[in-house]
């Protein structure tokens, strides 16, 4: 059991200044308002485990919206209240968001009717949670500041590295908790308690996950695929029968495990390149998971999961378009090394980075992998230094010839025929002087 002083020291030493300052502000406002507030859930769990977690969830013993408004009078922030559940999100100028919940909840029996206010206790709030390790409450103000409230044996389970539900109906009430269980197991290196594992297997067998809305399943799947080693979590989903429950179209075996490992390497490699845009990891793994599924099967899967349109485009249309390019590179095998830059660019131009990384991850041929990396690191963003206006200044008329010359100038750069602006200018002059125009260009 951690004593108060020990927890206060953790708050002092393990948190970044920004969060310490926030907790101080919250405590001050709570004192003025005369309410008790607690940090709860993942934040407290991770504080004790020594894992970074900047997502502070706060429960107010009283009305969270009133508290948020008091905070707004003290600090520079905006409040987004959610009247129905008496919760509020506080948004700070740097974009940081804080979630506030109340132990006081109001129910509207009919629209327009007066709300029934229920004064729930902190214990009830914590009892509604998924696993014991998420049920700690840490007092943030008053004489009890730093004190842990542990109604359900959270500290014991943190010590034993055990994931346990609070009651037998936990997975029935919220079947997405089964996916959360796998995520926490992998992320924290914990194991399901025996009874919890038994409850989970029964809930799988009884088909409870199939009753959950598509968007909630997708949300959990996305979180799972966003973890550092999603391959291990996927293997566990298979073991527990959860992958089948998500979709019977999906499978995951040793060869896909291998693709996942390679995808992880490709992502790491990509993120070390200078000046690349931030990349979401999960779509790359999701593409791996689609393996050899036919486009129609992927369409069905996206439909079933309620996949948002922009990802659907990536997984269905763009993936479909990438297939012939992958095949062509694979067919070339060793000979891809001889492709000049413009030939490689013609094959891979237009593919989004997720599909380029998938190509790297899936191939068994080192020269093909190198071709992808050569394209991503150098060729993909290479453009001529001259633009359309420069070409017009050199005497090129506006029209189809201009477009053709710009494309060919890029090819010349990709193939290393021109390197500098002067060389590009010379190249264009020669073209304009010597080139026989086609009918369309005239």
Residues in contact with ligand CTP by CB under 6 A are: 41-42, 53, 55, 57, 129-130, 134, 174, 176-177, 180
Minimum CB separation from ligand CTP for residue 310, in Å? 23
C-alpha 225, offset from chain centre: 8
User: Around Cβ 397, how many Cβ atoms within 10 Å?
Assistant: 12
Q: Nearest residue by C-beta to ligand CTP?
A: 42
Minimum CB separation from ligand CTP for residue 55, in Å? 5
The two structure tokens encoding residue 290: 């689609």
> How many whole angstroms separate alpha carbon 18 and alpha carbon 429?
59
The smaller minimum CB distance to ligand CTP, of residues 19 and 396, is found at 19
Look at the chain and count its residues: 442
Q: What is the DSSP letter of 138?
A: E
Minimum CB separation from ligand CTP for residue 386, in Å? 50
The smaller minimum CB distance to ligand CTP, of residues 129 and 413, is found at 129
Minimum CB separation from ligand CTP for residue 352, in Å? 27
CB 139 within 8 A of CB 38: yes
Order the strands of the 36-40 sheet from edge to edge: 78-82, 87-91, 97-102, 57-61, 36-40, 137-139, 148-149
- In the chain, what is the straight-line distance between the N-terminal and C-terminal CA atoms, in Å? 85
Minimum CB separation from ligand CTP for residue 133, in Å? 8
The smaller minimum CB distance to ligand CTP, of residues 53 and 155, is found at 53
The residues with which 37 forms a beta bridge, in sequence order, are: 60
The smaller minimum CB distance to ligand CTP, of residues 104 and 300, is found at 104
The smaller minimum CB distance to ligand CTP, of residues 129 and 319, is found at 129
Minimum CB separation from ligand CTP for residue 16, in Å? 16
The two structure tokens encoding residue 62: 């009283």
Q: What crossing angle do the helices spanning 194-205 and 176-188 adopt, rounded to 10°?
A: 140
Minimum CB separation from ligand CTP for residue 206, in Å? 18
The smaller minimum CB distance to ligand CTP, of residues 177 and 319, is found at 177
The smaller minimum CB distance to ligand CTP, of residues 69 and 174, is found at 174
The smaller minimum CB distance to ligand CTP, of residues 174 and 244, is found at 174
The residues with which 57 forms a beta bridge, in sequence order, are: 40, 99
| Beta strands, E only, 16-126 | 36-40, 57-61, 78-82, 87-91, 97-102, 104-107, 116-119
Minimum CB separation from ligand CTP for residue 68, in Å? 18
| Residue 13 vs residues 55, 58, 155, 188, 297: alpha-carbon distances, Å | 17, 20, 20, 21, 51
């Amino acid at each position: 059991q951690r004593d108060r002083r020990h927890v206060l020291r953790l708050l002092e030493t393990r948190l970044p200044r920004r969060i310490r300052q926030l907790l101080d502000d919250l405590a001050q406002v709570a004192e003025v308002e005369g309410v008790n507030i607690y940090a709860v859930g993942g934040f407290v769990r991770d504080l004790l485990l020594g894992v970074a977690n900047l997502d502070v969830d706060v429960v107010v013993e009283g009305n969270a919206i009133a508290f948020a408004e008091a905070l707004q009078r003290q600090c520079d922030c905006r409040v987004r209240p959610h009247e129905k559940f008496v919760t509020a999100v506080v948004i700070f100028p740097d974009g940081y968001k804080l979630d506030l919940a109340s132990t006081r909840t109001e129910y509207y029996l009919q629209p327009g009717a007066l709300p029934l206010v229920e004064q729930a206790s902190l214990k009830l709030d914590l009892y509604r949670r998924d696993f014991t390790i998420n049920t700690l409450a840490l007092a943030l103000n008053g004489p009890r500041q730093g004190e842990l409230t542990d109604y359900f044996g959270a500290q014991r389970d943190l010590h034993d590295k055990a994931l346990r539900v609070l009651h037998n109906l936990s997975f029935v009430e919220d079947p997405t908790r089964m996916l959360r269980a796998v995520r926490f197991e992998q992320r924290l290196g914990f194991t399901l308690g025996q009874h919890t594992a038994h409850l989970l297997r029964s809930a799988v067998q009884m088909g409870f996950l199939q009753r959950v809305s598509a968007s909630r399943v997708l949300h959990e799947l996305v979180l799972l695929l966003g973890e550092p080693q999603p391959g291990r979590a996927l293997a566990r989903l298979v073991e527990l029968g959860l992958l089948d429950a998500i979709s019977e179209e999906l499978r995951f075996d040793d060869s896909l495990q291998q693709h996942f490992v390679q995808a992880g390497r490709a992502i790491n490699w990509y993120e070390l390149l200078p000046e690349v845009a931030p990349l979401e990891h999960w779509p790359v793994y999701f593409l791996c998971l689609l393996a050899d599924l036919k486009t129609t099967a992927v369409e069905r899967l996206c439909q079933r999961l309620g996949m948002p349109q922009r990802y659907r485009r990536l997984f269905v249309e763009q993936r479909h378009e990438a297939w012939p390019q992958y095949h062509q590179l694979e067919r070339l095998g060793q000979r891809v090394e001889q492709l000049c830059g413009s030939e490689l660019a013609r094959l891979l131009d237009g593919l989004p980075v997720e599909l380029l990384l998938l190509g790297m991850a899936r191939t068994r041929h080192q020269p093909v992998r190198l071709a992808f990396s050569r394209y991503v690191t150098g060729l993909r963003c290479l453009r001529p230094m001259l633009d359309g206006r420069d070409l017009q200044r050199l005497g090129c008329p506006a029209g189809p010839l201009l477009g053709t010359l710009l494309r060919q100038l890029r090819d010349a750069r990709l193939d290393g025929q021109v390197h500098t602006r002067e060389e590009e200018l010379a190249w264009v002059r020669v073209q304009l002087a010597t080139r026989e125009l086609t009918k369309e260009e005239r």
